[in-house]
Amino acid sequence: MRQKPTVLAREIVATSRLFCVEEVQLRFSNGVERTYERLVGKGAGYGAVMIVAMLDAEHAVLVEEYCGGTDAYELSLPKGLIEPGEDVLAAAERELKEEAGFGARQLEHLTELSLSPGYMSQKIQVVLATDLYEERLEGDEPEPMRVDKINLRELASLAQNPQFSEGRALAALYLTRDLLSQRGAFPA
């Protein structure tokens, strides 16, 4: 295993309401020195969850919301921040109720994904939700989210949809499809 670079200095060079930009000066094992910048979340950093909620054996829930990063309404999976003292599965159930209007009788942590590890420290926990029932909680969204669905057999077409661009969500859907196929829970 490779030796991590030595940190020579760290400094917050910019801040916003949500993020800090940290400059990190590093020395690699071969003596080369570089300065990296990375986005780090503010506060305690409890993390985030993304939920693959299965309506039936083939269909997953998608939600449509306005995304400031792309300045567009986008389709994605329900997701949100984990609150202080909340575990991953409880956060997943709460976010699913707030964003899509469903609860789940079965929740399973699948994996952890990063968005862009080259310059972001944030990671998201992917949770599979099955045996859904209708239940809505008030959330912090500025407007109701439109709920849609995707057949796991049509993920290639979803990747071509101009309203869907989140790579983590696509990875989570493919992982779920493969897992359900391995378990024999995805119809042939």
pLDDT of 44 above 50: no
Ordered by start, the domain boundaries in the chain are: 4-37, 45-181
Q: Name the average pLDDT for the chain.
A: 91
- pLDDT by residue (tens digit) across 50-59? 999 999 999 9
Mean pLDDT to the nearest integer, 86-91: 96
pTM of the model as a whole:
0.86
pLDDT of 105 above 60: yes
C-alpha distances in angstroms, 4 versus 12, 32, 35? 21, 13, 14
45-181 maps to which CATH number? Answer: 3.90.79.10
Position 188 confidence tier, pLDDT thresholds 50, 70, 90: low
Contact 70, 165 (CB under 8 A): yes
- Residue 139, burial from CB neighbour count under 10 angstroms (0-12, 13-18, 19+): middle
Sheet holding 6-15, edge to edge: 6-15, 19-27, 33-41
